[in-house]
Chains A and B, each alone.
Chain A
Amino acid sequence: MMLFVATLLSPLAGGLLLGWMNHSKLAARLNILTGVTTFVCSLLLALQVLADDHFDALGGWFHLDAYNVFLIVLTAFVGMTTTIFSAPYMQHELEHGRVDARRMRLYHSMFQLFQLGMLLGFTTNNIGVLWVSLELATLATVLLVSLYRTPASIAAAWKYFILCGMGIALALFGTVLIFFTSSSVLGHGNEALTWTLLLQHASELDPAVMTVAFCFLMVGYGTKVGLAPMHAWLPDAHGEGPTPVSAVLSGLLLNLALYALVRCKMLVDGATASELAGHMMMGFGMVSLLVAAFSLHQQRDIKRMFSFSSIEHMGLMTFAFGIGTQLASFAALLHMTVHSLVKSGIFFTVGHAAQAMGTQKMAQIRGLIRHHPGIGWGLLIGTAAIAGFPPFGVFTSEFLLFTAALHTHPWTCVVLLLGLLIAMAGLFRAVQPMVYGEVPEQAVPVQVNMLPVYIHFALALLLGLSIPVFLASWYDEAAALIISTSVEVTIL
């Protein structure tokens, strides 16, 4: 219990403190300290959940099970490494006048507030509060995207704000609809939005209302996941914001939105006893994969290109959750983990590369390996990992996903394979000239901290070679939880 409170309090306290701290180097250290504290608390919390199977805190307001506990640890971990990465990165931006001391304060404070929103969203047992925390995390990142105050960054933040605000409003409408039908079953109070109770009584919820609700939730949370065709905000927000923000947007925030969608899908499956929700997710997933794979090729900005790769992978995960079998859900959860690790690692590397070359335009980034071997190899390894080369974890999860798709919907494999191949070609076509070749004149030496990147890639490699037993059992348990409501349908 204490641990749980500490996990949530640490980013809150850190965020409040950092809002008052003027000394930027000290603030960066405090930021790292907060990140480490949150991570340690979440790790200890996970050990407790591992021992007790599941965990309810503060009178059932918070619920931790196999599905969210590893996501909490993942969020805290990537949050921590991002704070470590951001210390030298933001110092460089400060020295080059892209931000001033006041905005550094805003940056640190909002970063921790974002972490708070994320952790609250993952732990809460109330789907209304889940919505509120997702909105909180979104608002915090809106301010982070516009941090540089350039015309493009303000435009990107506005677009992000309006589109996601709109999307998330639709999700709230879906939540209202769920409450509308559940309040006649569970009474007119907090119980009617409590997820564990809703799942128990899912079969008593009205199928017609739940179907309409899921349409709104799908489009609403889907906007936040970055699914095509609602993805227009994502590349702009990733491209124009500071790199640590792109890393957590891609690696963490998209996960929370997908997590929320899957939690709702479990309820809808239980109520409607049909595969409608799953089919919708599969459709959106496949369209996103294809759109992202083709759009990858047209990008000029390195961060925009990798943000399209995020859309591609979120599409894959949505597709996998849509199939909804044990194997597919297992693959989706594994893919969520490795994608977060690898993609945030890539964004760290890209951030350093952009600083070294003084630009984000891919045409002007050349000879990274010669200029700084750490950055060059980091980018190459990261791209290989995200493109799905063995022995990295992305390969394992994609392989499992294909196996699952072959069992249930064999024809989709053609689409998936096509999408993945096109995306891989796009990534390598762009990355090859950037890492090899001559160093351009404008290149400057930068202070680089590649340790977080290598830790991320090493973990992804480890997950590809052998998944630790406790993690595999968590995935299994979570996958069983996800399919428990729809399994009869799949067999019939």
Chain B
Amino acid sequence: MTGSFTLQLVNGLAALMLLVSFALLAQHRILSVLHWFALQGVLLAATAGIVAWGTDNHELYISAIMTLLLKGALLPWLLWRAVMQLHVHREIEPLMNSTVTMLMALAVTLFSFHIVQPIEQMSALITRNSMAIATACMLLGMLMMITRKKAITQVVGFLAVENSLFFAAIGATNGMPLVVEIGVAFDVLIAALIFGLFFFQIRTTFDSLEVDAMQQSLREDDEA
């Protein structure tokens, strides 16, 4: 009984993950992007907790707590603090043609369901549907990085990709070994700290957080 109940819960959470990924892609206020990102972290921790309970895997409880603290609280808080200190919390980021972006997102989702077909057929784990959704979330995160112009939203896209990888690890494999998970979490934390450092450097050097301004300086440096 618990098997099918856990499966339903995880499938529900997977659907929510996909919803959040679409929401992230469609938001243009920086603060709401951060809110959705925090929600994604909480969903991730919930998934890990449920899978841990369903499979009676104690290591996974540890990673669930780690995820909640790191991805549900610490990373969104670090980003929020950076946004506040840089006074960009009111800024609105114009989206590149949102209809086209949404259609692309749709195509990407269909594509990921297509490529994981051979994988899904062989999976005997309780959470086999989530592989396709994890792949879709990963590609949507990448799409977010491509369509956004601001450094902060690009970073959120990057971290969303990281989140969906973690989701794939729990959903499809019931979690990677703890050593690897701690290592990955450690790397993500360092990466986030470096990102934070970069925001201020970019701001002081370029007077904005637009990525285009940076690319321009590289071109000028080469031509000078």
Contact = CB atoms under 8 A, between A and B. Distances in A.
Contacts of A131: 180, 183-184
Contact of A176 (B165, B191, B217, B222): B165
B194 A155 contact: no
Interface stretch (A146-154, A249-257, A435-443): A146-154
B179 interface: yes
A8 to B, nearest CB: 15
Contact of B122 (A135, A206, A239): A206
Interface stretch (A186-194, A308-316, A483-491): A186-194
A388 interface: no
Interface in B128-175: 131, 135, 138, 142, 145, 151, 154, 158, 161-162, 165, 168-169, 172-174
A383 B206 CA distance: 37
Given A126-B179, A300-B223, A154 B198 contact: yes
Given A132-B184, A161-B194, A169-B165, A176 B173 contact: yes
Interface in B111-131: 115-116, 118-119, 122-124, 131
Given A128-B176, A192-B177, A139 B119 contact: no
Interface in B173-224: 173-174, 176-177, 179-180, 183-184, 186-187, 190-191, 194-195, 198, 201-202, 205-206, 211, 214-215, 217-218, 220-224
Contacts of A62: none
Contacts of A132: 180, 183-184, 186-187
A158 B200 CA distance: 12
A131 B21 CA distance: 25
A208 interface: yes
B145 A162 contact: yes
Contact of A136 (B172, B187, B223): B187
A146 B201 contact: yes
Contacts of B222: 239, 300-301, 304
Interface string B80-112: 000000000000000000000000000000000
Interface stretch (A177-185, A277-285, A470-478): A177-185
B71 to A, nearest CB: 14
A149 B205 contact: yes
A166 interface: yes
A406 B28 CA distance: 56
A33 interface: no
Interface residues of A, number: 51
B140 to A, nearest CB: 13
Contacts of A161: 191, 194-195, 198
A209 B119 contact: yes
Contacts of B131: 180
Q: How large is the interface on B (under 10, 10 to 19, 20 to 34, 35 or more residues)?
A: 35 or more
Interface centre among A131, A172, A179 (most CB of B within 10 A): A172
A128 B218 contact: no
A158 B214 contact: yes
Contacts of B142: 166
B180 A193 contact: yes
B194 A184 contact: no
Contacts of B180: 126, 128-129, 131-132, 193
A129 B178 CA distance: 11
B50 to A, nearest CB: 17
Interface in A259-281: none
Nearest to B217: A151
A43 interface: no
A154 B168 contact: no
A212 interface: yes
Contacts of A240: 218, 221
Nearest to A170: B138
A158 B202 contact: yes
A143 interface: yes
Nearest to A152: B221
A142 B190 CA distance: 11
Nearest to A215: B115
Interface in A107-157: 126, 128-129, 131-132, 135-136, 139, 142-143, 146, 149-152, 154-157
Nearest to A190: B177
Contacts of B173: 176, 179-180, 183, 188
27 contacts: A126-B179, A129-B179, A129-B183, A131-B184, A132-B180, A135-B184, A136-B187, A136-B190, A149-B205, A151-B217, A152-B221, A154-B206, A159-B214, A159-B215, A159-B218, A165-B191, A169-B161, A176-B169, A179-B169, A180-B119, A180-B123, A181-B122, A183-B173, A188-B57, A193-B177, A240-B218, A304-B222
Give me the 10 closest cross-chain CB pairs, A-B, nearest first. A128-B180, A132-B183, A155-B214, A152-B221, A208-B118, A151-B217, A135-B187, A190-B177, A155-B218, A180-B173
Interface of A: 126, 128-129, 131-132, 135-136, 139, 142-143, 146, 149-152, 154-159, 161-162, 165-166, 169, 172-173, 176-177, 179-181, 183-184, 188-190, 192-193, 206, 208-209, 212, 236, 239-240, 300-301, 304, 361
Given A139-B194, A151-B221, 8 more contacts: A143-B194, A151-B214, A152-B217, A155-B215, A157-B198, A161-B191, A176-B176, A183-B173
